[in-house]
Amino acid sequence: GKHVEILDSKTKEQLCFLDKVEPHSSVGDIKSLFHKSYPKWYPARQALRLDPKGKALRNDDLLQNLPVGTSATLYFRDLGPQLGWTMVFLAEYIGPLLIYLLFYFRVPYIYNHKYTFTSSSHHVVNLACACHSFHYIKRLFETIFVHRFSNGTMPLRAIVRNCAYYWGFAAWLAYYINHPLYTPPSYGEPQVNYALMIFLCEAGNFSIHWSLNSLKCEGAKCCRFPNPSKNPFTWLFFFVSCPNYTYEVGAWVGLSIMTQCVPVALFTFVGFIQMTIWAKGKHKTYTREFKDYPNLRMPILPFIL
């Protein structure tokens, strides 16, 4: 077997020496052995590198394939507390759902006390609440039943940041839409109805998540790229790599038009920028991994971006 020495990447002090490790052991196996010596550092918290400043090794990398001789030196870094993806998404999505409803029902101490538990006379306010609630209930449903998450955990710091983003925006949107002085959109009923049709992009978003889930993948690696199916909503795959983001932005554009509310439009815009960054990354991975990847496809907006 091989000898594996694990050093702290900052101080370079030896944390652990593993004797006679099987050459076909994976980095994941080494993390488990290291965890036995240091119970507080469970495998998801560990990053192991060949070089203190280098790239973290993947759990499925095998010891025998690494550029090391009979003894290997690995550098350890603590990634901090981690939570599973399912927990993360439940926290991210249950928050906005409930926060919005507090404003919708005008619970005490939000608006002037004479408005406590009153409801708006504008039909659009009820519709906006239904759409916002539907969006997050759908996300919760997908998190529990549809999604498969590639890397198992997320650092606590990132979760706090994400929750602040989603919960904060939900409170801001809800404050204005459910405000007693809110005025409905300029073009009235027609504007609301057109916006509701655009909001139906949610069905497209769900269709894409469903079809991505049925791609048989081994871990994070997929053997083929997603393609259109009989479902017309998936035909957007002819033109973009990440139609789920295209539809997601579409749904929020619908809600922005429906409510004619600046915070909603701002949330949509910030979301669009973030999703464009993710889509470009995914698009780059597809074009790198698959030589036959269709040239027509753009990351998020057909023919444009």
Give tens-digit pLDDT for 24-64. Answer: 899 999 999 999 999 999 998 999 999 988 889 988 888 88
Decide if pLDDT at 222 tops 70: no
**pLDDT of the residue at 230:** 95
- C-alpha to C-alpha distance for 33 and 31, rounded to whole angstroms: 5
Average pLDDT over residues 91-101: 95
CATH 3.10.20.90 in the chain, residue ranges: 2-80
Q: What is the pLDDT of residues 99-114, one digit of tens each?
A: 999 999 999 999 999 9
CATH class of the domain comprising 2-80: alpha beta
Higher pLDDT, 233 or 2: 233
| Mean pLDDT on 62-88 | 87
d(CA 272, CA 283): 16
| Residue 235 confidence (pLDDT) above 80 | yes
Q: Which of 264, 270, 273 is nearest to 170 (CA)?
A: 264
pLDDT at 220 over 60: no
Residue 253's pLDDT is what? 98
Please report the pLDDT score of residue 167 as a whole number: 97
Give the residue with greater pLDDT, 260 vs 2: 260
pTM of the model: 0.83
Residue 65, pLDDT above cutoff 60: yes
pLDDT of 219 over the 60 cut: no
Average pLDDT for residues 169-194, to the nearest whole number? 97
